[in-house]
Amino acid sequence: MIQAFGLTSNPRKELPPAVDDVSFEARAGRVTALLGASGAGKTTALRLMLELQRGRGLTYFRGRPLHRIAHPAHEVGVLLGDVPGHPARTVRGHLRMLCAAAGVPVGRADEVLESLGLLNLRDERLGTLSRGMDRRLGLACALVPDPHTLVLDDPAGALSVQDARRLHDALRAHAAQGGTVLFSTADPKEAARSADHVVTLERGRVVADQAAAEFSRTRLRPRVAVRSPHAARLAALVTKEARTARRSVEVVREGGNRLAVYGSTCADIGETAFRHGILVHQLADEVGDMGPGADGIPAARQQERPEADGDRAPAAGTPRPPCPSPGTEEDPAEAAAGASDRPASGTALHRTPGPRRALVPARLPGPPGPCAPGADPHRTARPPDSLTPGRATAREQAATLPPAISVRSAPSPLRPLRYELRRAVGVRTGFVTGAVVLLVSAVTAVVLARIGHTPQPRLLAAWPREFPLPPAALGAGLLGALAFGDEFRHPALAADRGTVPRRLGLLSAKLLVSAAAALLLAALTVGCDAEVLRLLYGQELARVPADWPALSAGWLGLVVGCAWAGVLAAGVFRSTTAGLAAVVAVPVVVVPLVQKVWAGPSVRTAAGFPMRVREVLLSQWPFGGERYVAEMLRVIAQPVGGAMTLSLTALLCAYLLTTLRSRV
């Protein structure tokens, strides 16, 4: 169940707020439609409910606000806009990545695909999907964690009739299992046909809150659908006869040979067509929209709104819950769970134990409801007094405003390492980057060996003296930058491309995966270069150097450092390009500065630093491990190693500072 109280968006400059004091309920076991024309505030209301936009108000999902739910994805499934996934990722790979983020088994992906009829598209790329398939995939992404509540913004927009019917059938099936469904739409016919309850918005305010049947009876105009090859002539004749008979009839051309006639009947139009010999292909009664030119809300309904915000009455025909008689006793278990969570009468519920078990909402303080003693049964139940601004002074009114809504960051994946592995191997970018690095390194090594004057260690790494970094280090930095750059460009974790999480668990997973990829790339680069040099020039250029431990430690440290610099810089600056630029800036900018400081005049130097650290901390390691640690310390003590360490430390501090600022 969803309970929204006093949702109000922050106004911009002198403009009124897009959403002003919106309150409604969406009950479990029912499909609720949030209806309104373009600009009525539907999307803003949903974003306020999901804490994606700043404003005021309260929204409870089965008795708890969203920021109080430990794992929001297991409670609320969201579809706002298109699916925010990498266009080169497959449908199945994208859902399996979301399974890792939600902490559910990967088999859940195939279950959801099969239930929505998308199993034959599991190997298709996201960038090749049609509009209808993309919307159905968005619903599949929302259903992966098996949430109790679905919140969707115009899910059937721009879909064909068949695709829209399939999508609404899936929403109906979810509600039949006891879930709560809330979707927004601008089509009144879609709301009346697909929803059990309709909440109508106009200019950011609720103007009607009705059951679907009552909405169709009171707010939709019946009409006659006519299809004829002589539509223009028939429209003129019907208008002329209505004017002669002084009847209020409105004829609307809907394009082609179709007419919509308001205020008449099939019999009258059929007789007119028969008398004048006009061929008619279709003549049927149907429920139309709210009338042409009404901009989604009839003008007569606009006069029903009272002047005072706090005295707003419900629209005519709004169903009210019956008040129990004084002698009626209620089941204590049902009273604790809340009668508002009960589904509509006649709804068959086939519930299985799982995340959708009804939670017991906490008792919220507030005024007595419409059925309390002394309450007026003809007044709509209102939120607590603290949520309803009245006519008071500015100070009192500021004190009674709804609580502020702060934007919440996207949840961190429950299984970050598994999520990061599936994210990294789910697209071909990493494999293509590795292949390009190996090819460029091999060609560079061959050219350097042919020219000569290049030491063997730099030859095996394909590192010309003129280049600040070897191809392997640049490739590792690019892979590290993509690890966070893709999160901001294709934010699969964030609803509606919201804030990407900056949790330490996700950062640790990205650093670990990028380090493993960098080590693999470094080893393959040296191996391929050595093999190519051995095939072309013999064994002399491919032999192992005498000081290979120190060289290997420096080489692996350089590549891993570049990868980590790319990860941290992309996370701080929210861009892949900025991450790669930070990698290149280390040898181009930081290293010369460190060398200048290192070579400057000084009274004392840090000569012998590695040996002293070894004597203090590394007295005796098993299997001679102190030798490798000492070599690593010697590499760090060099200007290049010091520059890399300094850069990583600065980027890590900047990342942690950004993370703390986002949580404050």
pLDDT in tens, 69-119: 988 889 999 998 878 788 999 999 999 999 999 999 999 999 999 988 888
317 vs 441, residue with greater confidence? 441
Q: Please report the pLDDT score of residue 652 as a whole number.
A: 79
CA distance 182 to 203: 20
pLDDT score at 93: 93
Mean pLDDT over 480-504 rounds to 79
Q: In terms of Cα–Cα distance, which of 219, 222, 216 is closest to 262?
A: 222
More confident residue, 128 or 604: 128
Average pLDDT, whole number, for the chain? 77
Pairwise pLDDT comparison (4 vs 327), residue with the higher score: 4
Rounded average pLDDT over 43-70: 92
Query: 3-state DSSP call for residue 26?
Result: strand
Written as six digits, the tokens of 57 are: 């108000």
Model pLDDT, residue 520 = 95
Looking at residue 460, its pLDDT comes to: 87
Q: Would you say 355 and 147 are in contact if contact means Cβ atoms under 8 Å apart? A: yes
Beta-bridge partners for 318: none
Q: Are 477 and 566 in contact (CB under 8 A)?
A: yes
CA distance 479 to 483: 6
pLDDT > 90: percent of the chain: 36
CB atoms within 10 A of CB 421: 17
Residue 488: closest CA among 571, 584, 590, 397:
571
Q: What is the pLDDT of residue 573?
A: 87
For residue 570, give the amino acid letter.
Answer: A
Cα angle for residues 306, 307, 311 (degrees, 5° grid): 60
CA 302 to chain centre: 35
pLDDT score recorded for residue 474: 92
Q: Cβ distance 576 to 489 under 8 Å?
A: yes
Residue 334 has pLDDT above 50, yes or no: no
Q: Where are the beta strands (DSSP E) in 305-442?
A: 404-405
Q: What is the DSSP string of 185-202?
A: ES-HHHHHHH-SEEEEEE
pLDDT of residue 608: 62
pLDDT of residue 382: 36
Q: Which residues lie below 8 Å from residue 246, measured CB to CB, with a gap of 6+? A: none
Do the Cβ atoms of 210 and 198 come closer than 8 Å?
yes
Cα dihedral 24, 297, 152, 403, rounded to 10, equals -40
pLDDT of residue 302: 35
Bridge partner list, 225: 260, 284
Separation CA 114–CA 91 (nearest Å): 12
**Is residue 295's pLDDT more than 90?**
no
Q: Give me the pLDDT at residue 465, please.
A: 81
> What pLDDT score does 89 carry?
93
Question: Does residue 67 carry a pLDDT above 50?
Answer: yes
Is the pLDDT at 630 greater than 70, yes or no? no
| Overall average pLDDT of the 330-349 stretch | 38
**What is the tens place of the pLDDT at every residue in 582-629?**
888 877 776 667 667 666 665 555 566 556 655 555 455 555 555 555
* Alpha-carbon radius of gyration of the chain: 33
SS3 96: helix
What pLDDT does residue 99 have? 93
- How far is it, in rounded angstroms, from Cα 577 to Cα 574? 9
For 462, residues 6+ apart whose C-beta sits below 8 A from its C-beta are 440, 441, 442, 444, 445, 448, 470, 471, 472, 525, 529
- Give the pLDDT mean for 277-303: 62
Supply the DSSP symbol for 604: -
Q: Is residue 146's pLDDT more than 50?
A: yes
Percent of the chain clearing pLDDT 70 (strictly above): 73
- 3-class SS of residue 430: helix
Contact 186, 37 (CB under 8 A): yes
Say if residue 331's pLDDT is above 50: no
Q: Supply 470's token pair.
A: 């070897």
Q: Which residue type occupies 414? A: L
Mean pLDDT check: name the lowest of 113-117, 158-162, 518-522, 653-657: 653-657
Structural domains in the chain, CATH included, are 1-75+179-219+293-319+339-408 (3.40.50.300), 222-287 (3.30.70), 416-663 (no CATH)
pLDDT of residue 292: 44
Per-residue pLDDT at 401: 64
Whether the per-residue pLDDT at 521 is higher than 90: the answer is yes
